[in-house]
Amino acid sequence: MKQYSDFSRIIHREGYIFIISFAAITFLFASFSAALGWIGFILTIYCAYFFRNPDRFTPVADGLIVSPADGVVQRIVEATPPPELELGEETMIRVSVFLNIFNVHVNRIPATGKILALHYNPGKFFNASLDKASIHNERQSVLMETVDGHKIVFVQIAGLIARRIVCDLEEGNDVSVGSRYGIIRFGSRVDIYLPLKTAILVTEGQICVGGETILADFKLKKTSEPKFEKR
């Protein structure tokens, strides 16, 4: 799993080329027109804002699953996991988090455990808010086993204007909850699949903060309050 430099913990490294390009275009525009220069300046600032990579305070306790992304819980349904992971037809609970163009797009690990399988699936670019995006859109699927033995799946899904999914994971990686693992450029969605008996702690329409909001708890009765760690 790739490590993040101190600077890329402020601005994700995927944003460097865009910010530099917009800054250069702004300088060029400003030499012709002050108005064009201001437009370029605003676009440059937005680009830096889009690729921001803030620290988060992750709840750490046995059995907790945190949101892998910022955004709104769009749907909570029973669904079969992506077929490329070969988990069969047994359904799981799917929690879908939709990211708009103003959300932080850096994605985070939902639980501590081990990465078992990765699969990139090229596809279409339907609006990520549509349910069919889980099936037809370009996606990066990840299967992991948590430290308490539960298999879960999380999926980065490209949206209508997203054109690049970045996943820094490798099979066999040991990962920690809340750690950064990738980014989806521009509007997109992240699905997470959990066993059917999992206690879901969010509702549709709820706003999530990646690496902080608790989506679910494998332990129905909490034995201790979670700690919070800066990740």
With H, G, I as helix, E, B as strand and everything else as coil, classify residue 139: strand
With H, G, I as helix, E, B as strand and everything else as coil, classify residue 35: helix
Q: Is 134 a catalytic residue?
A: no
Q: What angle do CA 42, 44, 50 make, to 5 degrees?
A: 100
Q: How far apart are CA 147 and CA 41, in angstroms?
A: 47
Which among 67, 96, 179, 188 is annotated as catalytic?
188
CA atoms within 13 A on the CB side of 124: 9
> Is the distance from CB of 69 to CB of 215 less than 8 angstroms?
no
What is the residue-wise DSSP string for 9-34?
GTB-GGGHHHHHHHHHHHHHHHHH-H
Residues labelled as active-site residues? 188
